[in-house]
Structure 1
Amino acid sequence: MSCARLEAVDGDNVRCDGLNVRLVGWGSPGRGGFDAAETSTGGHAECLEEGLIGDRATQRMRQLLRGDVELHLFEERDRYGRGLGRLVLADGRTAGDVMLEEGYAREWPDGPEWWCE
């Protein structure tokens, strides 16, 4: 999908021309993917460390969006009404791959939320 305006909401959500999109990495919508730490400003972080990692995840997503990326949208929506999609980078990796490799996210749904341990 081509977006005139593509921006980071946080470490695992983007906004494409006003449509909020939850990124799923290479997982299947609703069945697997990645989950970034919550930000300190969103009010959902369970500890200080999670908020700090979540803030850094948002900054990293903004950096990724500055490169050559392609957003693939699925027909499904999540329980909050957001679109579901995969953000693919020029090198073939997904944004989820990068977030997992760099420690900003966990595997979803079975990965531990290690940031508050």
Structure 2
Amino acid sequence: MQRRKSRRPQGHLRLRRRHRPQHGLKWRLLDIDAPEIQDAACPRERSLALRSRDRLAQLMAPGYSIQWNGRRDRNKRALLSVTLPDGRDAGRVLIEEGLAQPWPNVGNVWCE
């Protein structure tokens, strides 16, 4: 019996229900630097971090697809791209709205 070939595009990560981002998988968006919630250097950074987190949840609520190229960061988090139903990249939207900055970057712009 022949195995069926996957119809998913190369690099597309299909996550089991228990491994989806909302189910505790540790992950980080590729190519952006978002403000820190836990290790914020100033109150403004923490405030922006909460807004960024909430905005990302709002963007992903109607649906999304995740692309993972198999890389992880130094904290072993999966480095992902999130594509929204309208085709926009979630990280790019956060950057455009001032809730993240491109990575790599220089310094903490949140506390300037």
TM-score between both structures, scaled by the size of structure 2: 0.77
The residue number in structure 2 matching 1:85 is: 80
Instruction: State the one-letter code of the partner of 2:52.
Output: A
Structure-2 change in CA distance of 1:46 and 1:19 (3 Å)? same
Identity between Structure 1 and Structure 2 (%): 36
Q: 1:45 and 2:45 equivalent?
A: no
Query: In structure 1, what is the Cα distance between the partners aligned to 2:93 and 2:18?
Result: 22
Larger-gyration structure (1/2): 2
TM-score between both structures, scaled by the size of structure 1: 0.74
Q: What is the CA deviation profile of residues 11-59 of structure 1, one whole-angstrom value per residue up to 9, with x for unaligned ones? A: xxxx2644211111xxxxxxxx1111112xx1x1001100100011111
Q: 1:75 and 2:70 equivalent?
A: yes
Higher strand proportion (structure 1 or 2): 1
Assess if the C-alpha contact under 8 Å between 1:68 and 1:90 holds in 2.
yes
Assess if the C-alpha contact under 8 Å between 2:67 and 2:81 holds in 1.
yes
Higher helix proportion (structure 1 or 2): 2
Structure 2 gap segments, 5+ residues each: 1-12
Query: In structure 2, what is the Cα distance between the partners aligned to 1:37 and 1:54?
Result: 5
SS of aligned partner of 1:19: coil
Equivalenced residue count is: 99
Structure 1 gap segments, 5+ residues each: 8-14, 25-32
